[in-house]
Amino acid sequence: MKKLQEPGRQSPEIESDDFLSSRVQRRSFLKYAGAGAAGVALIAAGCKKDKNSDIGGGVNLGSGDIAILNYAYALEQLEAAFYIKVTATPYSGITANETTYMTDIRDHEIAHREFLKGAIGAQAIQSLEVDFSSINFTSRDSVLATAMAFEDLGVTAYNGAGYLLKSAEYLLLAGKIVSVEARHASLIRELISVNTFLGDQVDSSSVNISRTPTEVLIIAGKYIKTKLITTGLPS
Amino acid sequence: MNIVNILEEIEKVDGDVYERLSPRRKAMKDFFGMGSKITLAAMPMALGSMFQKAYGQTVPTGVVNVLQYALTLEHFEYNFYLRGYNEAPIPANDKPAIQIIRDSEGKHVEFLKTVISSLGTTPVAAKSSYDFSAGTGTTAGAGNGPFKDVFTNYVTFLAVAQVLEDTGVRAYKGRAGELLGQKVYLTAALGIHAVEARHAAKIRYMRRLNGHAPNLKVYITGANDSGVPAADGNYAGENNVVQGGLTVTTFPGVSGNISVNAASEAFDEPLTATQVLALVAPFGVS
């Protein structure tokens, strides 16, 4: 791995131009070329200078079980922030039932977020800065499609990280959360299209798919501005 | 489920499965070549020895026990939907969902049978009959229990389906710890666990939309939100609001603290194998 470049080595003008173009590039890569480019940005966060990050180079998830919990905490922060925004600025035509569901789910995600923060204690990562610029919060389609993506992603994330945990207690607590995420996913999918509660989230044996932390962070990276240093994540 | 399916399943969580099974590609090729010639009946044996060589040293017997337990419950669920789909007065609108869930449970049965066989163990069989009315005492096994109209009354059918799905979620959760660190088996169990939760949410949503339980949520609110008094045991402890020593209702929400309802909904609770087996015993499951 390359050492971090000293910040401020370039002139402010170049820094600024470079910053803009790299932001735009990343955006378009994410949007049009799939998630690969964002993944590189995230994974390489620990060893490559990025003008968009803190001087320290990003937020370190730590190692071992703490890293897995911080990873979950990052995802719950993202989900909670999303539903807080959804309920603060509801999409046009939202029904009373949908308002109830969104408010319920918001509170569940806040509960998950605060629980993980408390469970991790002093080693918890800071509050992350999110990027929801790709979401149209006035559009039901846009909001529900994003909700579905987040809920499905959350399920695959907990399922894919379960075996990495060394503590049976943490595994049980993750299990208590993941089935609630699956319930959310099922509901959101039904709100979008009836009888899609399993949809493309199961394989030919009707087992829910799972994703490695690396795969998850590539997808979630689109919505997280803060750099995450993931080098200590077990794999 | 065939040999290629199971290898693909395992490859998803263990990218080294082919290397593990045989470090030489030629040997793998030979095996598949042979696979087309040997009879279906001989396949489990061939699979068993192959997987035992690859994983035998690292798979504790406890793993097989958990898988057999899961299969016992999946047999029961699959048979419930198999009969229900054919006999219960399911409205046309709801038929596709029940079919999806029935087939999903059927796939879990086949999947678990294959995995257990691959470990050199005979999978537990389905019971020759179940008592879906959940009779106990003098009505045990007679189809005369509290849910005796389960296949003639759609309201009862969906209520029982909800209880079974929620209980299934709790059952898997309760034994995950026994699969700690088992990449292949824990990941598969968590994958089924999540699907049971998706089923449970769908059934709950159907009960709400059908007006059977107009205020029911897709997540479990409080101790027993099913409206089925006989299911109190199935929901015992679901009203828990203390997680890992932290009281969820002390967490700040958007306006005030997280409510008691939200705190209970946000976390699903486990059941032990002893608890689950006692709950399903009236259905003839053992």
The ipTM, to two decimals, is 0.84
Most confident of A55-64, B6-15, B51-60: A55-64
Full domain range(s) for residue A148? 22-229
Query: What is the domain-level CATH number for residue A224?
Result: 1.20.1260.10
Q: Does A118 or B51 have the greater pLDDT score?
A: A118
Whether residue A161 is contained in a domain is answered as yes
The burial class, CB within 10 Å (0-12 / 13-18 / 19+), for A56 is: exposed
Question: What is the helix (H) or strand (E) element at residue A100, kind and residue range?
Answer: helix A96-120
Does position B157 have pLDDT exceeding 60, yes or no? yes
Say what the pTM is. 0.82
Q: Does a structural domain hold residue A136? A: yes
Nearest to A176 among B111, B217, B243 (CB): B243
Lowest mean pLDDT segment, chosen from A170-179, A219-228, B25-34, B145-154: B25-34
Q: Which of A119, A171, A207 sits opposite B195 (nearest CB)?
A: A207
Window 234-263 of B, Cβ < 8 Å to A: 243-244, 246, 248, 251-254, 258-259, 262-263
Sign of the CA dihedral running A41, A47, A52, A58: positive
**Whether pLDDT at B52 is above 70:** no
User: Does A198 sit within 8 Å of B100, measured CB to CB?
Assistant: yes
pLDDT at B6: 59
Test A119 with B246 for CB contact under 8 angstroms: yes
Residue A106 domain flag: yes
Task: Return the residue of A nearest to B183 by Cα.
Answer: A163
Q: Contacts of residue B247 in chain A, CB cutoff 8 Å? A: none
Q: Which of A118, A169, A187 sits opposite B201 (nearest CB)?
A: A187
Residue A222 lies in a domain: yes
Is A212 contained in some domain?
Answer: yes
Predicted pLDDT of residue B42: 44
Chain A and chain B share a number of CB contacts under 8 A equal to: 198
Would you say residue A34 has pLDDT above 50? Answer: no
The answer, yes or no, to whether residue B263 has pLDDT greater than 50, is yes
Whether residue A2 is predicted with pLDDT greater than 70 in this model: the reply is no
Is A16 a residue whose pLDDT tops 90? no
Q: Report CB contact under 8 Å: A179, B169.
A: yes
Structural domains of chain A, count: 1
Report whether A175 contacts B160 (CB < 8 A). Answer: no
Per-residue confidence (pLDDT) for residue B126, from 0 to 100: 98
Q: Where residue A57 falls among pLDDT bands split at 50, 70, 90?
A: confident
Q: Which two tokens stand for residue A124?
A: 């918890």
Indicate the pLDDT class of residue B12, thresholds 50, 70 and 90. low
Residue B186 has pLDDT above 60, yes or no: yes
B212, B132, B206, B125: which is closest to B164 by C-alpha? Answer: B132
Across B71-94, average pLDDT: 98
> Considering the domain boundaries, does residue A5 fall inside one?
no
The answer to the question of residue A44 being in a domain is yes
The per-residue pLDDT for B61 is 86
Query: Which chain B residues have a beta carbon less than 8 Å from that of A216?
Result: none
Give the per-residue pLDDT at B139.
Answer: 80
Residue A108 is assigned to a structural domain of this protein:
yes
Average pLDDT on B5-12 reads 62
